[in-house]
Amino acid sequence: MNANINDRKPTNDLTFSDLDKELREYAISHDVPIIQDDGLAMLESIIRIKRPKKILEIGCAIGYSAIRMASVLGSIVYTIERNEEMYNQAIENVKKANLSDKIHIIFKDALEAYDLVKDNTFDLIFIDAAKAQYMKFFNLYTPLLSTHGVVVCDNMEFHGLVEVLDNIEEYKSYSRGVRGIIRKMAKFHDELLAKEDFDTTLFEVGDGIAISVKK
Residues that bind Mg ion (CB under 5 A): 128, 154-155
Residue 162 in contact with ligand SAH, rule: CB under 6 A? no
Residue 125 in contact with ligand SAH, rule: CB under 6 A? no
Q: Which stretch binds ligand SAH (CB under 6 A): 7-15, 94-102, 106-114, 164-172?
A: 106-114
Q: Which is nearer to ligand SAH, 100 or 173 (CB)?
A: 100
- How many residues of this chain bind ligand SAH (CB under 6 A)? 19
Applying CB under 6 A, among 37, 109, 163, 191 the residue interacting with ligand SAH is: 109
CB of 140 to Mg ion, least distance (A): 19
Radius of gyration of the chain (CA): 18
Residue 34 in contact with ligand SAH, rule: CB under 6 A? yes
34 touches, from ligand SAH, Mg ion, none (C-beta below 5 to 8 Å by class): ligand SAH
Residue 180 in contact with ligand SAH, rule: CB under 6 A? no
Question: How far apart are alpha carbons 79 and 95 in whole angstroms?
Answer: 15
Q: Which stretch binds ligand SAH (CB under 6 A): 27-35, 141-149, 192-200, 203-211?
A: 27-35
138 touches, from Mg ion, ligand SAH, none (C-beta below 5 to 8 Å by class): none
Q: Which stretch binds ligand SAH (CB under 6 A): 31-39, 139-147, 186-194, 198-206?
A: 31-39
Q: Which is nearer to ligand SAH, 34 or 103 (CB)?
A: 34
One-letter-per-residue 3-state SS of the chain: CCCCHHHCCCCCCCCCCHHHHHHHHHHHHCCCCCCCHHHHHHHHHHHHHHCCCEEEEECCCCCHHHHHHHHHHCCEEEEEECCHHHHHHHHHHHHHCCCCCCEEEEECCHHHCHHHHCCCCEEEEEECCCHHHHHHHHHHHHHHEEEEEEEEECCCCCCCCHHHHHCHHHHHCCCHHHHHHHHHHHHHHHHHHHCCCEEEEEECCCCCEEEEEEC
Phi and psi torsions of 62, nearest 5°: -90, 10
Residue 153 in contact with ligand SAH, rule: CB under 6 A? no
Q: What does the binding site for ligand SAH look like in residue numbers (CB under 6 A)? A: 33-35, 59, 61, 64-65, 80-83, 86, 109-111, 128-130, 133
